Amino acid sequence: MNEISIGAVGAAAIAGLVSLLGLVIGKEQKVSEFRQAWIDELRKCFVAYLVNINAICDALRLKNAGKAIDDIALLANYKSLNEASHGITLRVNATELPAKALLQSMSEFEVLAQNNASLTPGKIRDVEKTFIEAAKELLKFEWNRVKRGEKIFVWTKRIVSLAIVAMLVILAYAWATEKRAASDKNSNRPVFQLVHIERFPLC
């Protein structure tokens, strides 16, 4: 009966831990999906940021060369640039090192944009190179976070795995103890031997 009780309790505990791990995995899987969608949107903001900066630079260069440009289109580029800039700023964590490098390169772009004469292809290429490198590092950092999983998931998985191993060890020890006790009990039982009584002939 004790063996059955220990086995039932152990099985129920392991099943509960596995269920808990399943719930955590499901929840963290959904968080990872949201994070992946967030990364995709951030990548679009990177592209829009670079495209509109180059478009503004090209338009200003044509204007300085005396050619007519579409002011409405130029304003649209500035608007799209601002949208991309705010989209990046609101999505990144400014306290993390990859984000700091990215925001620094964006600040350099803003310094160039304060003076149209500074928006030359050469200066833009230098800052653009820094921006792209920082963007790649940030995307790699976030992708590794998605592959690794959220911190809660990682720690829960470790704790549940250790708990399952510990309970299996305890169950194995309890089972071995019960077996040993049963074996000792059987060995202490009195042994009855049949005694052969020799018959003698009657006188």
pLDDT tens for each residue of the chain, 203 residues long:
455 565 666 667 667 767 766 776 676 777 777 888 888 999 999 999 999 988 888 888 888 777 888 888 888 998 999 999 999 999 998 898 889 999 999 998 888 877 777 777 788 888 889 999 999 999 998 888 777 766 666 666 677 677 777 777 777 777 777 777 767 666 655 554 544 455 545 54
Give the per-residue pLDDT at 10: 63
146 touches 39 (CB < 8 A): yes
Give the per-residue pLDDT at 184: 66
Sign of CA dihedral 128, 133, 139, 145: negative
Is residue 162 assigned to a domain? yes
Give the per-residue pLDDT at 100: 92
Is residue 87 assigned to a domain? yes
Give the per-residue pLDDT at 1: 45
Q: How many Å is the maximal CA-CA distance in the chain?
A: 154
Give the per-residue pLDDT at 36: 83
Structure tokens at 45: 């903001």
Q: Which residues contact 96 (CB under 8 A, 6 or more apart)?
A: 141
User: Crossing angle, helix 2-64 and helix 151-187, to 10 degrees?
Assistant: 170
Q: What is the pTM of this model?
A: 0.62
Q: Which residues contact 164 (CB under 8 A, 6 or more apart)?
A: 14, 17, 18
Is residue 196 assigned to a domain? no
Question: For residues 77 and 185, what is the distance between their CA atoms, to the nearest angstrom?
Answer: 89
Tell me which residue range forms the domain holding 25. Answer: 2-187
Give the per-residue pLDDT at 114: 76
Is residue 194 assigned to a domain? no
Tell me if residue 81 falls in helix, strand or coil.
helix
Neighbours of 96 (CB within 10 A): 13
Is residue 130 assigned to a domain? yes
> Backbone phi, then psi, for 192, in 5-degree steps?
-100, 130
H-state helical runs in 149-203: 151-187
Place of tokens 């052969």: 196
Is residue 198 assigned to a domain? no
Domains of the chain: total: 1
Is residue 200 assigned to a domain? no
Is residue 118 assigned to a domain? yes
Give the per-residue pLDDT at 51: 93
Question: For residues 115 and 109, what is the distance between their CA atoms, to the nearest angstrom?
Answer: 11
Question: For residues 35 and 24, what is the distance between their CA atoms, to the nearest angstrom?
Answer: 16
